[in-house]
Structure 1
Amino acid sequence: MPRPSAPGTRLRTALALVLLAAGLTVGAVAATSTAAEPPRTWVVDAVDDTASNRWESVDTGTTTVTIRAGDTVEWQFDRATQGHDLVSLAPSQPWESIWPTALQEYRDAGGPSVTYTFDQPGTYRYECSLHGPMMTGTIVVVPADSTNQSPTAAPVVEPLTGPAPHVVHATANASDPDSGDVVAVAWEFGAGGAPSYTDHAMVEYTTPGTYVVRLRVSDGRGGLHVEEFTVVVTGEGPPDPDPPTDDALPDIDALASPASGTAPLTVAFSTQVTTRGTLHAYSAGLEDYPAITGEAVLVRSRGRTRTALSVTGTKPSAPHGAVHVHEQACDDDLGGAHFRFDTTQPFAEPNEIWPLFTSDATGASGAVEVTKPVRAGPKAVSLVVHDPDNAARRIGCADLAPGTADLTYSWAFGDGTTGTGADPDHTYATPGTYTATVTVAHASGEHAGHASVSDAVQVVVGAVPTTAPSPTPTPAPTSSPTPTPALDATPPRISRVGPLRTVRFARPVVTARVRDGGQGVRKKAIVLRVDGRRATKLSYDRARGTVRWRPARALATGRHVVRLVVTDAAGNRSARTWRFVVRLR
């Protein structure tokens, strides 16, 4: 479809860009013409380039476009270099509107466009959920015969700079030229907190950095006034936050390359860190693929990240072209955006972890493995499987635990020297056999200095030979040693959890199935928490692997969170979190 030209809109856009460059006010102004205009189509592109991944209106050059009721928005993907899912967002602010028909579409780069005709005035927001908040857009729809004038403001935000902790006061001084319009004000301070909906608001910044303060003024009829201010906070800021109260530490292995050589020998050490998770159905998968399950493993080491995945219970004989490691937990905004090795680079396969697969006739993936030539950072925390028929829908997720964000690495190289960091280098100056040991612990919080895990690796450093070595005698044959029993390194499997949806009684039975292929699981190694409180008097049938618990008292109406942690006799641990809602009528 040809893209319509809009000279007036482009002129306003050019003027807006000039004003932005000068640091002046730019307001989103609704159309005020009373002349009847035929419906038109407005084009929005999905854009992937070195600058960012974003939605961009052809008419405004921004993520926001103001249209009339009866107009159509067409999202195009010819400027995309990867797939995107286009999802309508529920209102999160007083002036935002509910989409009459929810939007949930996936398109590959260069795929067919998506069109949507807006018949009702309002403010509608959308996003690419694969990229999260960094790729959102807004459609402001005004009445077809609107004579509405946008609200105005004379904001004051001060002081704009100072050392942490830094308190900023913001006053909108908002009004509307149309009598009868109700002005709604919202301040967003860019620090992760909730917006403020009063004309005057204040915020305290405790962490140094650069923040964007955004003012939005709405009249409820499509008119919108927006201004932004930059606040710079200096200083060192407070210490890092405490880690989660769970004191678990990941499995580690000490590695050395080379492990032998002649002095002086420079060795590249590495702490290999392994995190695991059990895949379970969630989001759209609770309805469409309730039997989906599997295991995910992510192994980080120096210059290498290996991801292994095994899935069952998904669509048979289907290419799964959207399977990614994500940067948030499964229950946190559905896993959030994709994990990227380099956050300054756009979202794309070379910068991400994609363990894609094609399922067999039973809906199983088989063993899937992806290796990347760089160590993944601590934000690689979950693995998400998307619907093979619509990548905008997420059907399965595994939390990769334990977390690695607050770990410290302490090395003793065996020659009287020490080092820090996950992957240090060390040079051995004299010959000898050395045992290098790495100790991993929590950096802060209640478990700092209490729990740790260690591993060692041996390095043999020889002298430079001065004469030809004597032939090595052939050793006498000996009997074969007794094989060492294989260690149980597979965590228990948690499945068939419930309830998962809405229940109509106040004392529902919480259930789960626990299976372990190693030495088994004992009842005392099962911890069930509901809304953070440990459940007592739960029953466990070890032969069948069933866990059951019923609350002694009625639960309150509303949402409840269940977390089950199971540890087998070998010390392998699995965890599963799910939610349900009590609604009595």
Structure 2
Amino acid sequence: SAPVAVATASPLTGNAPLEVSFTGSGSTDDVGVVSHSWDFGDGGSSTLADPVHTYSSPGSYTATLTVQDGEGETDVDTVSITVTQEGTPGECTALSAPWSNSDVGSVLAGGSACSDGQTYEVSGSGADIWGSSDGFHYVYQQLEGDLEITARVVSLSNTDNWAKAGVMVRNNLSGNSAMALMSVSPDPSYGSGPGYTLQHRSVDGGTMTSSGHNLGPVHVGMPYYVRLVREGDTFSGYASANGTDWSLLGSRQIPMGNSVYVGLAVTSHKNGVLADAVLDNVTVTGGSSSGGNSAPVAVATASPLTGNAPLEVSFTGSGSTDDVGVVSHSWDFGDGGSSTLADPVHTYSSPGSYTA
């Protein structure tokens, strides 16, 4: 007979980083279970019967146990893990350096933005980000050179099917600036639900048209991650359901100056009415401050550096420095796990040599 997989875990919920003890040794088979294979749902895995795994990032995960007996028969069981944000979110307050915010173009209702350091709440009016001139609210910083901006669009008011929230790079802060926008809208195909698009204005003062300046929409759920990458005058738009597996929507050539404005854009597509958007997991990498900002200095330490599996390691990145402040940390533990905490804890389930 086929084996019977039995997967349990404790705890089932908690703040990140969350260490979970999994148990698969309760699985049974008439001729004996010969192997266990765990997929923790965040890129981590183990072949132990009863492994320990640490989830570094908030989210909902499904851990899958596959057991096999001596005759090659298999069975699968799953257990759900919910990881919440560490600590209590703070009050949403005015933006701090390096971020600024302002309305761009023609808006009939003034926008606003605030952050608790992890989540950004942005309200914007404006007729659209489209045509010959844009109207929206912008949270931005001025940077030079190649760069990348990523954000997760958690929610957006459905003030219009084509309301937009996402990440943007633009040449200047005038309404008709050259720009690239990777955004999510509530229902851009009028009946298919949320979708993401890559839109651009090729030159300052140019006009955007559906035939030449729009890629998408691609229909997805919300929340959803969006990303813009600038390499010279090439701007590429990406999207992801989980912030790990990315799909390239397309790339466009958009001549811009070395110094650009990069940030979060929200338009209601209904001028005079505010659309409220929530974005998190915001990161900006590459680029340098137009004011002569120096690059940060990353300092990574860990303890212990060696030990038997499963090995729990405490990482420290909070010693990294920058002249205007470090705004984000991103760890890759080398085994498929990752974290955006400054000082995460991660458990290596399998023997091997890893570079974090």
- Give the TM bin, normalised by the shorter chain: 0.3 to 0.5
Larger Rg: 1
Normalised to the residue count of structure 2, the TM-score between the two structures is 0.33
Give the structure with the larger strand fraction. 2
Structure having the larger proportion of residues in helix: 1
Q: TM-score, normalised on structure 1?
A: 0.22
**Structure ranking higher on relative contact order (CA contacts 8 Å, 6+ apart):** 2
